[in-house]
Amino acid sequence: MGICDNRTIIVTGSGSGLGRTYALALAAEGANVVVNDINADAANGVVAEIKAAGGAAVAGIDDITSMAGAANIIKAGVDAFGDVHGVVNNAGIVRDRMFASMSEDEWDLVIKVHMKGHFCIANTLVKHWRAQVKDGKKVDARIINTSSGAGLQGSIGQSNYAAAKGGIASLTLVQAAELGRYGITANALAPAARTGMTEGPFGEIMKKPTDGSFDYYAPENVAPLVVWLCSPLSAKVSGRVFEVEGGKVSVANGWKTGTIADNKARWNPADLTAVIEGLIAKDPAPQKVYGT
């Protein structure tokens, strides 16, 4: 018996990297997995791995950045397993460039894959779950989004990626606030692990140890939290962003209203210098941007 028995979970971008480890871990805990990847060979390969281990899976190779593609991925899960109970929005790309040198295409593509990809499949699923609720069915559904440390505190050379991931963190808060009435939770991950997207900038730091010691940046270290978030055990947790790396897990402490200076009237612009300096001095300094 596993903690995800009888649940069907879509994992986007699960033909390799973190997504593949999520799919394998979910299947090991009893979930039926829809392995989504636009690389059909990669998706079918993960499906074969899951089935060889005694699990249940089906491939969904449509593009997550269109509503039609999202609908087809969901249909693959419903046709194979009767329903879908959650999605792990994992698919992503990077097009790293210093902000002053970034092209319009580099900006648009990263925003599309991350933000629109998160929107299309979650929006389509939410409509599916809301219809079930209106028909009197009890729903216990999950949206697990993927943010990033770059989205929470910024990252030099990744303004497009950081903006998308910051937007996803905010999206998660809104989803949680709006969708709880339907039995849907929404949470997000900010994982640190060795994947195709981190091999370039962090390859030396994240390389696999050769001495048999704990592989701190192995993507498999992130998977247990994903499995738990997809399970019924997480039903009371929503609207949170979890940072996870190695054996560490924490709940991110995001933007909050800081110390307030109230003039009880309109400010004189020149007077704000001392006021702003005082406010900044009173509140904790933000974490440093990655790369600074």
**Three-class HEC string of 141-191:** EEEEEECCHHHHHCECCEHHHHHHHHHHHHHHHHHHHHHHHHCEEEEEEEE
Mean pLDDT of 102-124: 98
pLDDT at site 286: 86
Measured between alpha carbons, how far is 135 from 130 in angstroms, rounded to an integer? 9
Q: Which residues contact 230 (CB under 8 A, 6 or more apart)?
A: 4, 7, 9, 26, 31, 85, 86, 88, 142, 144
Contact assessment for residue 127 and residue 77, using Cβ atoms and an 8 Å cutoff? no
Give 66-76 pLDDT, tens digit per residue: 999 999 999 99
Band the pLDDT of 241: cuts 50, 70, 90: very high
Annotated catalytic, 264? no
Q: Which domains does the chain have, with CATH numbers?
A: 8-251 (3.40.50.720)
What is the reported pTM?
A: 0.93
Mean pLDDT of 227-255: 96
Mean pLDDT of 161-186: 98
pLDDT at 139 exceeding the cut of 80: yes
pLDDT at 247 exceeding the cut of 60: yes
Amino acid at residue number 151: G
Mean pLDDT of 154-168: 96
pLDDT at 236 exceeding the cut of 80: yes
Mean pLDDT taken over the chain: 95
Residue of 148, 159, 234, 238 marked catalytic: 148
For the chain, give the percent of residues with pLDDT over 90.
Answer: 87
Mean pLDDT of 17-34: 98
Contact assessment for residue 104 and residue 160, using Cβ atoms and an 8 Å cutoff? no
Annotated catalytic, 155? no
Residue of 22, 155, 159, 161 marked catalytic: 161
pLDDT at 201 exceeding the cut of 60: no
Contact assessment for residue 145 and residue 130, using Cβ atoms and an 8 Å cutoff? no
Lowest mean pLDDT among 68-77, 100-109, 147-156, 170-179: 147-156
Band the pLDDT of 197: cuts 50, 70, 90: low
pLDDT at site 208: 77
DSSP three-state, residue 71: helix
Instruction: For 30-65, give one letter per residue: b (16+ CB within 10 A) or e.
Output: bbbbbbbbbeeebbbbbbebbeeeebebbbbbbbbb
pLDDT at 203 exceeding the cut of 80: no
Contact assessment for residue 167 and residue 212, using Cβ atoms and an 8 Å cutoff? no
pLDDT at site 79: 98
Annotated catalytic, 231? no
Give 251-284 pLDDT, tens digit per residue: 999 888 999 999 999 999 999 999 999 999 999 8
pLDDT at 205 exceeding the cut of 80: no
60's enclosing H/E stretch is strand 56-60
Paired tokens of 83: 């329903």
Mean pLDDT of 95-106: 97
Mean pLDDT of 97-114: 98
pLDDT at 167 exceeding the cut of 60: yes
pLDDT at 200 exceeding the cut of 90: no
Residue of 165, 234, 238, 290 marked catalytic: 165
